[in-house]
Chain A
Amino acid sequence: MSDLHSETSVAFVRTEQVPASPPPASTSGLQGWLRENLFPTPLQSVLTIIMGAIAGYILWLALDWAVFHAVFTGESGEACRGEGRQDGACWPMVFTRFPQWIYGFYPVAERWRVNIVFLLGVLSLVPMLTPTLPYKKFNAIFLLGVYPILTLLLLTGGHFDITASTWLTTFVFVAAVVLPILFLGFVAKIISPALAAISSAAIAGAAALLLVLFSIDFGLTYVETSQWGGLLVTLVVAVTGIVASLPIGILLALGRRSQMPVVKLFSVAFIELWRGVPLITVLFMASVVLPLFLPPGTNFDKLLRALVGVALFSSAYMAEVVRGGLQAIPKGQTEAAQALGLTFWQNMGLITLPQALKLVIPGIVNTFIGLFKDTTLVGIIGLYDLLLIIQTANTDSNWAAPQTHSTGLFASAALFWIFCFGMSRYSMFMERKLDTGHKR
Chain B
Amino acid sequence: MKRTLLSLALGAAVSVAGISAASAGTLDDVKSKGFIQCGVSQGLIGFSNPDDKNNWTGLDVDFCRAVAAAVFGDGEKVKFTPLSAKERFTALQSGEIDILSRNTTWTMGRDTSLGLVFAGVTYYDGQGFMVKKALGVDSALKLDGASVCTQTGTTTELNLADYFRANNMKYEVVAFEKSDEVIGAYDAGRCDVFTTDQSGLYAERLKLKNPDENVVLPEIISKEPLGPVVRQGDDAWFNVVKWTYFALLNAEELGVNKGNVDDMIANSTNPEVRRLLGVEGDFGKGIGLENDWAAKAIKATGNYGEIFEANVGPNTPLKIARGINALWNKGGIQYAPPVR
Contacts and interface: CB of A to CB of B under 8 A. Distances in A.
Contacts of A96: 52
Contact of A395 (B4, B5, B6, B44): B44
B207 interface: yes
A257 B17 CA distance: 38
Contacts of B166: none
Interface string A379-394: 1111010001001111
Q: Among the interface residues B1, B7, B52, B87, which one has the most CB atoms of the partner chain A within 10 A?
A: B52
A251 interface: yes
A397 interface: yes
Given A251-B1, A291-B90, A308-B6, A301 B49 contact: no
B20 interface: yes
Contacts of A207: 8
A394 B206 CA distance: 10
Contact of B2 (A169, A251, A379, A397): A251
Contact of B43 (A176, A291, A312, A394): A394
Interface stretch (B93-101, B222-230, B237-245): B93-101
A178 B22 CA distance: 31
B11 A288 contact: no
B16 interface: yes
Contacts of A395: 43-45, 49, 203
A278 to B, nearest CB: 14
A182 B248 CA distance: 64
B8 A380 contact: no
B207 A396 contact: no
Interface stretch (B64-72, B76-84, B285-293): B76-84
A75 B90 CA distance: 39
B314 to A, nearest CB: 13
A296 B94 contact: yes
Given A299-B95, A394-B43, A401 B207 contact: yes
A300 B7 contact: no
B36 to A, nearest CB: 14
Contacts of A296: 22, 94-95
A291 B92 CA distance: 10
A97 B206 contact: no
A181 B4 contact: yes
Nearest to B83: A382
B154 interface: no
Nearest to A100: B52
A48 interface: no
Interface in A278-322: 284, 287-289, 291-292, 294-302, 304, 308, 312, 315
Interface in B18-66: 18-23, 42-46, 49-54
Given A402-B187, A402-B207, A402-B209, A287 B87 contact: yes
B297 to A, nearest CB: 24
B22 A295 contact: yes
A288 to B, nearest CB: 5
Given A248-B5, A382-B83, A162 B94 contact: no
Chain A interface helix/strand/loop/mixed? helix
A308 B14 CA distance: 13
A396 B8 contact: no
B169 interface: no
Contacts of A181: 1, 3-4
A116 B296 CA distance: 41
Contacts of A226: 79, 81
A92 to B, nearest CB: 11
B134 interface: no
Classify chain A's interface size: 35 or more
A400 B206 contact: yes
A400 B206 CA distance: 6
Contacts of A105: 50, 54
A13 interface: no
A384 B21 contact: no
Interface string A137-171: 00000000000000000000000111101100110
Contact of A252 (B2, B6, B18): B2
A203 interface: yes
Contact of B13 (A304, A312, A315): A304
Nearest to B87: A288
Q: Among the interface residues B5, B7, B12, B79, which one has the most CB atoms of the partner chain A within 10 A?
A: B12
A169 B5 contact: no
A405 interface: yes
A86 interface: yes
B49 A392 contact: yes
Nearest to A244: B5
B185 interface: no
B95 A173 contact: no
Contacts of A325: none
B270 interface: no
B5 to A, nearest CB: 7
A300 B54 contact: no
A86 B85 CA distance: 31
A174 interface: yes
A252 B17 CA distance: 30
A309 B6 CA distance: 10
A177 B16 CA distance: 20
B93 to A, nearest CB: 7
A400 B13 contact: no
Contact of B207 (A100, A295, A405): A405
24 contacts: A77-B317, A81-B209, A96-B52, A160-B16, A170-B8, A170-B12, A174-B4, A248-B2, A252-B2, A284-B87, A287-B90, A288-B87, A297-B19, A297-B23, A297-B95, A300-B14, A304-B9, A388-B42, A391-B43, A397-B45, A397-B318, A398-B317, A400-B317, A401-B206
Interface of B: 1-23, 42-46, 49-54, 79, 81-84, 86-87, 90-91, 93-96, 180, 187, 203, 206-209, 316-318
Closest 4 CB pairs of A and B: A400-B206, A395-B43, A291-B94, A297-B22
Given A77-B206, A169-B15, 5 more contacts: A77-B317, A181-B1, A300-B13, A397-B316, A398-B317
